[in-house]
Structure 1
Amino acid sequence: MLSRRLFVKSTALLGCSAAAHPLFSNMAFADAPGDNRLVVIILRGAMDGLDVFQPYGDNNLRKLRQKLSLGPDQGALDLDGYFALHPDLGGLMPLWRAGELAFAPAVSTPYRDKRSHFDGQDMLEAGTGTDLDLIQQRDGWLNRLLQNMPGVRSETAYSVGLEDMKILDGPAPAKSWAPQTRFNLSAQGQRLLEHVWHEDPLFRSAGQQAIDIVESGIGTVTKEDGKEKGGPTRDVRALARFSADRLNGATRIATFSISGWDSHANQARVIGRALNRLSDAILTLRDGLGQNWQRTTVLAMTEFGRTVRENGSGGTDHGTGGAMLMAGGAIRGARVYGKWPGISEQDLYSDRDLMPTQDIRAYAAWALRDLFDMPRDVLERSVFPHLDMGENPGFLA
């Protein structure tokens, strides 16, 4: 039985932050004009871009890392003679060969030096340029996009998961749903519940949203025989499958998160599990979208990178410059975008981190500009305050 106290408590939990916790995922959706589709995947926990896209052609890599990121001779998959793909993303190699996978190394938000997951994720999802902006700007860049996009139906935006996504916070309305929640109610029971909550505005609104979302058909990933699929990537495949279903309809923008990237120790094991989830999410999107995959851009973004040097626990600590993954039939793939700064001692940021050479917000902004014809001044002033988009990197086909 769903009690009022439990329901309100569960709704309140959507506002809690889980930072790098591996069990939490969430999702948001919005309708928009046109046929182009955008999926933003937030990688919570600070993905080590140097391990995912390994610059094995830089001779300094083996000096700084004895166990991690050692290139094709250690099982990684060569991309271009300089960078190699982590073997746990091997399932994405067909996308690379088809020109549907690319990446940008040495990217970051303007967040510097404090290296807090919570603050870094807030700045990534808020899309702000300074700590002061983050304090003053309480909404997320996706919500500001909805407010500035003509023809968008923001009442159809969703936040799905066990925590709130700041990227969707703001005046544009959104609905919330927690995965694996069961809300079975007969028609008579629904009428009774509506009568009970009628005089309670808070519960009436939350309860009606629950009914609306359940009636919209959110479900789990299942086998053909009707049994739920198991395995560690089941939940992320469920999120990706539902995303594809929405994107095949009126939805044009979707965002969800994949956690579990905080690899202070035993990084090979930790990042391997996270990469399996990311690979399955992207491949599930591709399979579920069908022909619409050709009009889809996927951006996978993390709050910051990790230290260039591995630590004594077989892991890496919080850093600065990271990497961004792009996928989809709408991108110009099989390419490395941006400028590689190198990892020699004199090239490092604060003598420990990969030096950022590009603001990660610029890639998101150019995606919005090219996919949805958003004016540059709106993107630089309102959606991403104080951003200089620079030249178009041209990663969209």
Structure 2
Amino acid sequence: MSMDRRGFLKTSLLGCSAAASPFLTPVSFAAAPWDARLVVIILRGAMDGLDAVQPWGAPEYAGYRPGMPRPGDASGPLDLGGFYAMHGALAPLKPMWDKGELGFVQAVSTPYRNKRSHFDGQDILEAGAMVNGQPVRDGWLNRMLQGVPGIEADTAYAVGRSDMLLMRGDAPVANWAPGSDIGGWSAQGMRLLEQVMHDDPLFRDALDEAELLSDADQADQDPETMTGGMMNMTEMSAPAKKAAPTGGHRAIARYAGERLRGDSRIAAFSLNGWDTHAGQKAALSRALGRLSDVIEDLKSSTGPVVWGKTAVVVMTEFGRTVRLNGTRGTDHGTGGAMILAGGALRGGRVAGKWPGLGEAELYNRRDLMPTADVREYAAWMMRDLFGLSRGALEGTIFPGLEMSANPKLIL
């Protein structure tokens, strides 16, 4: 087997430095700096975990959510073993559940409490740490990359138009978007627009739809005409054109999958449309349908070999209220759910400690009580995927985190 000079130097560097790195426990590298893949998807707007992963085994649930279809109803939720059922919009993913390639974690949250601001909650989720109550300035995925030898720009991709705090920091990260921002808006401008429109459901939903349509329209363009990113645009043409007819969210998923089939090992992007204050039944069905598309496209575009080495973690800034409000929606809450997927996953189960839905068991008598830190599950996944040391995870990547027993999410 031949090896070029660059490959020899990279392998030699890893061999000399990996053992000395405080970030890594002993591990064999099949590719620099590892062969496993990680995809992080941020759901902006706060997914209702009690609707995505429905606890029908809790006797109070039906009373809190009157009129919801039950497991066994046409287009209703799919039973996951008696206590939980997953939303019917996720039905295309049921074969993954059956194969152990899909799982959930219930009753998780960041340390953020009570203020219930999407923008603060998202910053804390992506920063992964706080100082004096404020999120730090770099993201936890980038801090992880900073401590690992052999990192290059192609190792990790931030995909989509969002300026992701999750990937911000000193480590090199490539960026790609299917098109320019709506009307030439910068990432900061879009964030301001989202803040201004947040409290008006009509304008907020219209903005979410416009962003999706913009992605879909821009994905039809030849990527050589686009701006931004750290990669040669001509290298993007094939995957982007292949994904173009399917819409913005699918273009992003398929592009990420194509990169993961090559030298890239990490991809991160976000999906909007999860703020369901009114008309949640239709809005959440649409959002979960898009997420289902994304996960299916990640699997198909990576291919069976790479998918078998891939873990997908889907996170959101907080949960939503247990009770429906007067407009058949839910308001900002606390405890929520994670969605996990991938061929590297030990799935087919709902992890996490269930807190109960009795009045006294709720957080502030309105929200699902968090029983675990969402960062802990992400940390254990990186520990088992990449061989990162527990000391680095608790001390540098997620400062202040205390990891309990390994939930063994990875094969």
Q: Normalization by structure 2: what TM-score?
A: 0.78
1:218·1:242 contact (CA, 8 Å) conserved in 2?
no
Partner of 1:163: 162
Partner of 2:63: 63
**Hey, what's the Cα distance between the residues in 1 that align with 2:156 and 2:101?**
27
The alpha carbon displacement at 1:262 in A equals: 0.4
Distance 1:294 1:114, change over 3 A: same
- Which range moved further: 149-158 or 282-291? 149-158
Whether 1:215 and 2:228 are equivalent positions in the alignment is: no
Selected match of 1:229 from 245, 262, 265: 245
Alignment of 1:172-211 (within 5 A): 172-181=171-180
Partner of 1:298: 312
**Hey, what's the Cα distance between the residues in 2 that align with 1:38 and 1:170?**
18
1:234-278: CA deviations, max 9, x gaps? 211111111111111111111111110000000011111110110
**Hey, what's the Cα distance between the residues in 2 that align with 1:115 and 1:245?**
36
**One-letter amino acid matched to 2:296:** L
- Secondary structure (helix, strand or coil) at the match of 1:346 reads helix
Q: Which structure 1 residue ranges, 5 or more long, are not aligned?
A: 1-30, 187-205
Alignment of 1:279-290 (within 5 A): 279-290=292-303
The alpha carbon displacement at 1:210 in A equals: 5.2
The alpha carbon displacement at 1:44 in A equals: 0.7
1:172-214: CA deviations, max 9, x gaps? 233444323557879xxxxxxxxxxxxxxxxxxx97x658441
**One-letter amino acid matched to 2:400:** H
Distance 1:116 1:70, change over 3 A: farther
Q: Normalization by structure 1: what TM-score?
A: 0.80
In percent, how many aligned pairs have the same letter? 52
Partner of 1:18: none
Number of equivalenced pairs: 339
Whether 1:394 and 2:408 are equivalent positions in the alignment is: yes
**Hey, what's the Cα distance between the residues in 1 that align with 2:48 and 2:72?**
18
2:109·2:317 contact (CA, 8 Å) conserved in 1?
yes
**One-letter amino acid matched to 2:342:** G
Whether 1:336 and 2:350 are equivalent positions in the alignment is: yes
**Hey, what's the Cα distance between the residues in 1 that align with 2:320 and 2:374?**
15
1:97-120: CA deviations, max 9, x gaps? 111111110000010001100000
Alignment of 1:362-373 (within 5 A): 362-373=376-387
1:267·1:316 contact (CA, 8 Å) conserved in 2?
yes
The alpha carbon displacement at 1:334 in A equals: 0.9
1:107·1:360 contact (CA, 8 Å) conserved in 2?
yes
Distance 1:322 1:102, change over 3 A: same
1:40-66: CA deviations, max 9, x gaps? 111111000000010011110111111
Distance 1:242 1:178, change over 3 A: closer
Alignment of 1:232-243 (within 5 A): 234-243=247-256
**Hey, what's the Cα distance between the residues in 1 that align with 2:312 and 2:230?**
30
- Secondary structure (helix, strand or coil) at the match of 2:66 reads coil
- Which range moved further: 358-367 or 60-69? 60-69
Partner of 2:148: 149
**Hey, what's the Cα distance between the residues in 2 that align with 1:391 and 1:184?**
45
- Secondary structure (helix, strand or coil) at the match of 1:216 reads helix
**Hey, what's the Cα distance between the residues in 2 that align with 1:134 and 1:155?**
30
1:51·1:69 contact (CA, 8 Å) conserved in 2?
no
**Hey, what's the Cα distance between the residues in 1 that align with 2:337 and 2:103?**
11
**One-letter amino acid matched to 1:284:** D
Partner of 2:121: 120
Partner of 1:28: none
